[in-house]
Amino acid sequence: MALCPRESQLIKRMSETQINTEPPQALSHDPWESAYLRFETPEEEIGKFIGRLNRLGAAQWPRDTEIVELFCGRGNGLIALERLGFTRLEGVDLSPRLIAEYRGPAKCIVADCRKLPFEARSKDVLIVQGGLHHLPNLPPDLEQTFEEMQRVLRKDGRVLFVEPWRTPFLDFIHFVSGIPMIRRLSDKMDAFATMVENELRTYKRWLNQPELIRKVAHHHFVPVRESIAWGKWNFVGMPR
């Protein structure tokens, strides 16, 4: 079975674990990454992340909490955490190009979320903001990722996930972003549609298996809070 372009890029990078220092312009072109970079400005994304983190309880975490953001992309989630006062931060992503966009004190590593480069019971919080739906194979990759997260988290640690979820609102956005005139008039909608096109196989597979995904999550983590609204699944939990 042929892989979509986004899956091919993900699989190609699975063995990388080095810290990247190359400038963004020196790195390979990826249509999904290019669309992601124009979907929101850094400040728009940082503001979104700050509001989201506060709503999901980050304001109550001690400021010396050891936090790793998985699928951290260009690092705006890390910047949001810095602005909230957290100081012990790390990021992990498969994309050298996106990690090279980050400017800040957190250590960012190019690595595979299914084999995290951290010792067991070494982190307090693991955050994923829109990365699990990129996993090429469900449920095996999700199981392996969650097992690694369980291994790395301290017993009283937390996971925080925010992922796309099929709701009437998301269906409406899909419909609107598929209209050619809308794409011509709105760079944001065109960027969204381009991202969907370049991750279509994994994206559709994720959206079409909500009960399986929640079952796997609940098997590995005890929910502390969970909600589905506005096209997002929000989950905060503790390792079992």
In 3D space, the residue among 128, 82, 131, 76 whose CA is nearest the CA of residue 99 turns out to be 76
- What does pTM read for this prediction? 0.87
What residues pair up with 158 in beta bridges, in sequence order?
A: 125
Confidence of residue 2 (pLDDT cuts 50, 70, 90): very low
**Is the pLDDT at 14 greater than 70, yes or no?**
no
Distance CA 33, CA 24 (A): 11
Q: Above pLDDT 70, what percent of the chain?
A: 88
pLDDT in tens, 75-87: 999 999 999 999 9
Domain of residue 119 covers 5-239
Residue 201 sits in a domain whose CATH number is: 3.40.50.150
pLDDT for residue 29: 74
State the average pLDDT for the chain: 90
Buried b (16+ CB within 10 A) or exposed e, 70-93: bbbbbbbbbbbbbeeebebbbbbb
pLDDT in tens, 166-187: 999 999 999 999 999 999 999 9
Please check whether residue 239 is in contact with residue 157, taking contact to mean a CB–CB distance below 8 angstroms. Answer: yes
Bond preceding residue 139 cis, omega within 30 of 0: yes
What residues pair up with 142 in beta bridges, in sequence order?
A: none
Question: Looking at residues 27-48, what average pLDDT do you find?
Answer: 89
**Is the pLDDT at 19 greater than 80, yes or no?**
no
Q: How many domains does the chain have?
A: 1
Question: Looking at residues 43-48, what average pLDDT do you find?
Answer: 97
Bond preceding residue 117 cis, omega within 30 of 0: no
In this structure, what token pair is assigned to residue 184?
């011509």
Indicate the helix (H) or strand (E) that contains 109: strand 107-110
Confidence of residue 199 (pLDDT cuts 50, 70, 90): very high
In this structure, what token pair is assigned to residue 209?
């298996």
